[in-house]
Amino acid sequence: MNQATRFFLFPNSLFSMTTATSRWTSSLLLLTLLLLGSAFPVSAQVFVASLSGASEVPANASTASGRVEAVLSGTQLVVTGAFTGLESDYTGSHIHEAPAGVNGGIIFTLTPVVNGDMRSGTFAAADNTFDLTAGQVTTLTTDGFYVNVHSVTLAGGEIRGQIGQSVLINEVDSDQTGTDAAEFVELYNPTASAVDLSDFVLVFFNGSDDASYEAFDLDGFTIDADGYFVLCANAATTANCDLDVTPEENLVQNGADAVALYMGEAASFPGDTPVTMAGLLDALVYDTADADDDGLLAGLGQMVQYNEDENGMKDTQSIQRNPSGAATIVVTEPTPGAGLVAPMGPVVTFTEGSASVDEGMMATLTVELDFPDDTPDGNPVTVSVDFDAVGSTADAADFTGPTPGSVTFSGNTDGEALFVTLDLTEMDGVEGSEDAVFDLTVTSGTADVGIPGTFTLTVGDTDMPPTSTMAEARALGSGATVIVEGVVTRSMGTFTYLQDDTGGLTVRQTSGTFFDAVAAGTIVSGTQLQLNGTLSEFNGLLQINDADLASWSILGTTTVPAPQVVDLAELAANGEAYEAELVQVDDLTIETADVTFAAATTYDVDDPSDDGDAMALRVPNADDSDVDGTAVPSMTVLFTGVIGQFDSSDPRDEGYQLMAIETGDLVITTANEPGEAPTLFALDVAQPNPFARQTTLQFSLDQSGPVRMAIYDALGREVAVLTEGELDARTHRVTFDARTLASGVYVVRLTAGEQTATQRITLLR
């Protein structure tokens, strides 16, 4: 390599420090490494102990639990882990010597950091590192040690677990391009005997609520000694898959989330089961460039959360132990059903695994030769860069250049980089983005192909598709590149909903210019947009997601389309026809004992057409809704809002939800019968008032005609026009977005023909 690199290995973590820069993800772990004064070699062995009252001798009925991981490096043993739920105050913990079912003497005293409740704690490596004799190493490797945690009322031991090697979670791939159709979890058996997996269960936990969302029994399967077991979403897209489960897409959430291996059965982990260490054998908490989830880490006794996007290549890399069963965790190309093999000689790789470029431009592929010991051997190496026609969606006509390209390294320089240049052909017609895949082959000299040994070049299509109606775009479905125009009906945080006369569509943007425009109040209800992007599905919801939005523009502003008056029975039966569109449901009852709404929560709802909970009300994440923390109405309400969907099971024709985004989406009111004109002209009280960002104004027209609603400041200056034009005789609702205005008192003036109504509203920052 060009820089000298030292690797410090820590249980469940990998740190790299170069001579030019140092990057540490945790100052606590850095301190631990300094205190240890040495590093684990790659051959470090991992042992685990699952702690319970049932394992005590004699057994007790304690519901406390814990998990300990012990990493043996030579003769040094480093212990980490956690325990929780002791029935009385903690008094001590030790490593004892005795086989399972027998009590033995204390060998080492463990030193946990005990929490304030005195019933839970964690074992940090810095305080629990021990030097073993040769005899103690033998005892450890033959299951002769156990961990015992003592408490006041159970002085002889409240929870215990035998230390031994166990089946481990070896690799997790949680994210790929598109609909994530090749996700998998791999287990590895480090022991010398085959293991029956009939008593094992894999449980997936969602970081949004630190609770389970999937659980899979492994009954009927056996994992060989030094063997692998792969659970996947689709055996057709995942090599060496042993258990193909549903859903076939988006099986593993992208993070911050967790995968855990337990002794038990899936029936013990119904949906929304909180994280637990009871029966826990192994766990991996991971993300794709997300913040750490302290609840998952603490609940599963883990010290480190791993980032699958560590190298900026989350769609093509996975998180895995290196080598299999070791304490080291790396992020690299997936190897389902196989372990990583460290090359011994020079290695050729692409310097990056992927890039994107538009057709008609030039692309450069960089190939590098590295020596593991940083010492060049002077022997030339020739490498061929081959176009992989089978793995590509593009074809050779899409570019010109050497195919295959060939580069020859001198062998005299470590980290020598050579280049292959391609010209991308400007193709007529709308093709959409295509992938050109290239592989490395050593044709002369001696070298291994390392990781990444495959390069994916995404070629962007610069030809603009014709403008589609929403219905036409929805008919094209996931993967289609479309241009659509519509009016925004709801927009907050990462989600924007827009529709035309034929249908609706969802836009999800977590960053970028569109996201910034929503945050600044430039894109609000009533904004007319043109979007150019590629459609994708997430749990049934058709959307333009993040980087799939190629371009957008504001065409103007107008009134928000009138909501479609429907009932829950109609939505449950024909939800797809209303997805992302504005609807109105009257006489809605929210079935909950909660006093206030909570973000990221789903509520059962009924109306006169359905009392069987066929539909649900969803309060989105706090940044995507103003409803979080507001009072749950105790009376029936009028819902006016958009329809979302979350259905993880094929054929994804259920799971439609009423999305409560604005506080005015739920109004306690005595409404007219559907289609019946109001008998009076009226401007209802703004909801909420006072307000911090947006408020909803509802008004009734007893006759059709010209209408104007405007906002004035305390000096009488007009600061906004909310609606102006011909409106039908019915109840109307508009949203006033005041994010660009200063705090103060404003006046709403509604004029309809000869009738006028005013109301004061207060904006608070």
Going by C-alpha positions, the residue among 582, 600, 590, 672 that lies closest to residue 631 is: 590
Distance in angstroms (rounded) separating the CA atoms of residues 413 and 407: 15
Q: Which residue has the tokens 């089961």?
A: 273
Whole-number pLDDT of residue 7: 27
In degrees, rounded to 5, the angle at the alpha carbon of residue 226 between the alpha carbons of residues 222 and 228 is 55
In the predicted model, is pLDDT for residue 30 greater than 90? no
Whole-number pLDDT of residue 672: 46
Spatial contact of 56 and 96, defined as CB atoms under 8 Å apart: no
Q: What is the pLDDT of residues 455-498, one digit of tens each?
A: 888 887 666 567 899 999 999 999 998 999 999 999 999 999 99
Helix (H, G, I), strand (E, B) or coil at 400: strand
- Domains 467-557 and 682-763 are alike in CATH topology: no
Spatial contact of 554 and 484, defined as CB atoms under 8 Å apart: no
Q: What is the pLDDT of residues 568-588, one digit of tens each?
A: 999 999 999 999 999 999 888
Spatial contact of 85 and 139, defined as CB atoms under 8 Å apart: no
Distance in angstroms (rounded) separating the CA atoms of residues 21 and 210: 35
Burial class of residue 526, CB neighbours in 10 A (0-12, 13-18, 19+): buried
In the predicted model, is pLDDT for residue 516 greater than 50? yes
Long-range contacts of 235-242 (CB under 8 A, 24+ apart): 237/181, 237/182, 238/182, 238/183, 238/184, 238/336, 239/336, 239/337, 240/336, 240/337, 240/338, 241/184, 241/336, 241/337, 242/337
Whole-number pLDDT of residue 431: 58
Spatial contact of 300 and 260, defined as CB atoms under 8 Å apart: yes
User: Does the 564-667 domain belong in CATH 2.40.50?
Assistant: yes
- What mean pLDDT do residues 304-317 have? 89
Distance in angstroms (rounded) separating the CA atoms of residues 627 and 661: 6
Beta bridge partner(s), residue 319: 172, 331
Percent of the chain clearing pLDDT 70 (strictly above): 89
CATH code of 347-460, in short, is 2.60.40.2030
Distance in angstroms (rounded) separating the CA atoms of residues 361 and 436: 14
Distance in angstroms (rounded) separating the CA atoms of residues 393 and 427: 14
Q: What is the pLDDT of residues 139-148, one digit of tens each?
A: 998 999 999 9
pLDDT classification of 399: cutoffs 50, 70, 90: confident
Pick the range with the lowest mean pLDDT from 218-222, 260-264, 512-516, 648-652: 648-652
Tokens found for residue 498: 């827009």
Q: Is the dihedral of CA 547, 312, 44, 242 positive or negative?
A: positive
Residue 25 is given by DSSP the state S
Whole-number pLDDT of residue 695: 86
Q: What is the mean pLDDT of the chain?
A: 85
Distance in angstroms (rounded) separating the CA atoms of residues 698 and 707: 13
Whole-number pLDDT of residue 59: 94
Neighbours of 723 (CB within 10 A): 18
Whole-number pLDDT of residue 41: 34
Percent of the chain clearing pLDDT 90 (strictly above): 50
The answer for 341, left when phi > 0, alpha when psi is -120 to 50, beta otherwise, is beta
Spatial contact of 232 and 243, defined as CB atoms under 8 Å apart: yes
- What mean pLDDT do residues 75-96 have? 93
Whole-number pLDDT of residue 73: 80
Query: How many residues are there in the chain?
Result: 765
Whole-number pLDDT of residue 676: 56
Strands 257-263 and 280-287 turn out to be antiparallel
Whole-number pLDDT of residue 16: 30
CATH architecture for the domain at 168-332: Sandwich (2.60)
- Widest CA span in the chain: 99
- What mean pLDDT do residues 613-637 have? 89
Tokens found for residue 540: 């049934």
Whole-number pLDDT of residue 438: 87
Whole-number pLDDT of residue 97: 95
Q: Which residue has the tokens 């391009």?
A: 177
- What mean pLDDT do residues 504-527 have? 93
Distance in angstroms (rounded) separating the CA atoms of residues 166 and 197: 11
User: Does the 682-763 domain belong in CATH 2.60.40.1930?
Assistant: yes
Q: What is the pLDDT of residues 2-27, one digit of tens each?
A: 322 222 222 233 233 222 222 222 22
> Phi and psi of 31, rounded to 5°?
-60, -40
Distance in angstroms (rounded) separating the CA atoms of residues 661 and 696: 12
In the predicted model, is pLDDT for residue 248 greater than 70? yes
Whole-number pLDDT of residue 33: 28
User: Does the 45-162 domain belong in CATH 2.60.40?
Assistant: yes
Q: Which residue has the tokens 């970028």?
A: 512
- What mean pLDDT do residues 121-129 have? 90
154, containing H or E segment: none
Q: What is the pLDDT of residues 53-62, one digit of tens each?
A: 999 999 999 9
Amino acid at residue number 271: G
Spatial contact of 575 and 643, defined as CB atoms under 8 Å apart: yes
Whole-number pLDDT of residue 342: 54
Q: Where are the domains of the chain?
A: 5-36, 45-162, 168-332, 347-460, 467-557, 564-667, 682-763
Q: Which residue has the tokens 């992938």?
A: 435
In the predicted model, is pLDDT for residue 35 greater than 80? no
Tokens found for residue 329: 């965790």
Topology at the third CATH level for domain 467-557: OB fold (Dihydrolipoamide Acetyltransferase, E2P) (2.40.50)
Beta bridge partner(s), residue 121: 83, 114
Q: Which residue has the tokens 């593993």?
A: 252
In the predicted model, is pLDDT for residue 37 greater than 90? no
Q: Which residue has the tokens 């073993």?
A: 132
Spatial contact of 730 and 678, defined as CB atoms under 8 Å apart: yes
- What mean pLDDT do residues 256-283 have? 93
In the predicted model, is pLDDT for residue 375 greater than 50? yes
Q: What is the pLDDT of residues 412-456, one digit of tens each?
A: 998 899 988 877 765 555 556 788 888 899 999 988 887 788 888
3-state secondary structure 740-761: CCCCEEEEEEEEECCEEEEEEE
In the predicted model, is pLDDT for residue 677 greater than 70? no
Q: What is the pLDDT of residues 176-212, one digit of tens each?
A: 887 788 999 999 998 888 999 998 999 999 999 999 9
Return the higher-pLDDT residue of 154 and 328: 154
Tokens found for residue 71: 């990493």
Q: Which residue has the tokens 């074809």?
A: 395
Burial class of residue 596, CB neighbours in 10 A (0-12, 13-18, 19+): exposed
In the predicted model, is pLDDT for residue 99 greater than 90? yes
- What mean pLDDT do residues 663-681 have? 64
Spatial contact of 151 and 66, defined as CB atoms under 8 Å apart: no
Distance in angstroms (rounded) separating the CA atoms of residues 334 and 626: 41
Residue 137 is given by DSSP the state H
Beta bridge partner(s), residue 332: 318
